[in-house]
Amino acid sequence: AQKVTQAQTEISVVEKEDVTLDCVYETRDTTYYLFWYKQPPSGELVFLIRRNSFDEQNEISGRYSWNFQKSTSSFNFTITASQVVDSAVYFCALSEGISGTYKYIFGTGTRLKVLA
């Protein structure tokens, strides 16, 4: 069965520190996609990134970077030089199936608190 685990319930860092949010997934499919979403205190969910199972290249977008490792079934998210505005709940999600599964499986989220 597919599953997404975000073992870190809450992380607190001081501004300008780097922080990594972990995401471990389980799937029997060879074709799948992984996503990260951000939920700031205002409540909406904001799409950050999508990665497919055939592309293991790491991705960097400004202060954000993602490390996808199929060998460990992980898709970790690193924020460099964190800022107070990064404070949010971050969700990792999995979508699997060659035909395009209609459903995501979400992790339980990691609450990141960045202290000034």
Positions in the binding site for another protein (CB under 8 A): 6, 9, 32-33, 35, 37, 42-47, 50, 52, 91, 95, 100-104, 106-109
H or E stretch covering 28: none
Least Å distance between CB 70 and another protein?
16
Least Å distance between CB 18 and another protein?
25
State which residue, 79 or 109, has the beta carbon closest to another protein. Answer: 109
* DSSP per position, 33-56: EEEEEEE-TT---EEEEEEETT--
Longest dimension (CA), the chain: 46
**70 three-class SS:** helix
Q: How many CB atoms lie within 10 A of CB 13?
A: 16
Question: Are the beta carbons of 44 and 32 closer than 8 angstroms?
Answer: no
State which residue, 11 or 15, has the beta carbon closest to another protein. Answer: 11
Amino acid at residue number 27: T
Least Å distance between CB 81 and another protein?
26
State which residue, 98 or 116, has the beta carbon closest to another protein. Answer: 98
State which residue, 62 or 100, has the beta carbon closest to another protein. Answer: 100
Least Å distance between CB 116 and another protein?
25
